[in-house]
Amino acid sequence: MRRFVLALCLCWTALGQTVPLEEVVRSGQPAAGVPGATYAENGLAPLGVANNGHVFFQARLNGVDQSADTGIFVWSSGITRLALREGRPLPEVCPDCVVGAVRVARLDDSGRVMASVDARSGDAVVANAVVREAAPGDLRLLAFTGGPAPLREGETITTTDFAMDMAPDGTSVLLASTSDGSAPSQIVYVIDDVGSRILTEDGVPSLAQPEWIYRNFFAASGIQL
């Protein structure tokens, strides 16, 4: 049987010397945090490596229901943990909503994950949602389509595809479109270990040129820290 291995080069040495590799995950192995499941062949996808060597990867699982057979895992110093799994309940979005497909995922240097995911009810995608770990294993919902706009009383999030990023220290940025029922708006949020705050929004003076006014942030071009 063929085995597909995701390996990480942990150390580069001088030219001509052997470069040591450390195995991170192998198909067929028991899946971390999912009793009875194994990593499926052709189902491993590396997502990134943090500055200090943390690795996160997406894996399809055997031995579980198809509605919950994908997860994001974090590996550090030989230990792997489950950070986010398809099928995880999202009751804040709707009573039977669960995590569906992962659209974008980020990892910081402490091993915390932030992700933009589909919120699914049955087979239907009902919202886009952003989740972030306050600490490894402590996953929290930040925002979702149709939900309340953080720090903006009476406004609702209308974004259907969040732009987001996460810095090595965990500071995160999120671009959301909102509406108060009449005029739409766009807000750039910053999230860190202290809480959330509004960095800027359309209709306010530019940070670089106060005589300019921000209008229409382009989510399609991405947002980056």
Note the pLDDT tens digit of each residue in 147-196: 999 999 999 999 999 999 999 999 999 999 999 988 788 898 999 999 99
pLDDT of residue 2: 47
9 lies in a domain? yes
Asked if residue 106 has pLDDT above 90, the reply is: yes
Does residue 151 contact residue 164 with C-beta atoms inside 8 Å? Answer: no
**Does some domain include residue 21?**
yes
Q: Are 26 and 50 in contact (CB under 8 A)?
A: no
Q: What are the tens digits of pLDDT across the range 68-102?
A: 999 999 999 899 999 999 999 999 999 999 999 99
Phi, psi torsion values for 67, nearest 5 degrees:
-75, -10
Q: What is the pLDDT of residue 7?
A: 47
Query: Is 54 domain-assigned?
Result: yes
Chain-centroid distance of CA 17 in Å reads 37
> Residue 88's pLDDT is what?
97
Strands 21-26 and 5-9: antiparallel
Q: Is residue 111 part of a domain?
A: no
Indicate the pTM of the whole model: 0.84
Q: How many domains does the chain have?
A: 1
Domain interval for residue 57: 1-85
Q: pLDDT-derived band of residue 6, with 50, 70 and 90 as boundaries?
A: low
Tell me whether residue 178 is in a domain.
no
Mapping DSSP to helix (H, G, I), strand (E, B) and coil, where does residue 40 land?
A: strand
Q: Is residue 203 included in any domain, yes or no? A: no
Q: Does 68 reside within a domain?
A: yes
Backbone angles phi, psi at 157, to 5 degrees: -80, 130
pLDDT tier at 224, thresholds 50, 70, 90: low
Which helix (H) or strand (E) is 143 found in, with range? strand 138-144
Is 114 domain-assigned?
no
Which residue in 149, 150, 166 sits closest to 158, CA to CA? Answer: 149
Report the chain's mean pLDDT, rounded to a whole number.
85
220 has pLDDT over 70: no
Pairing of strands 138-144, 163-166: unpaired
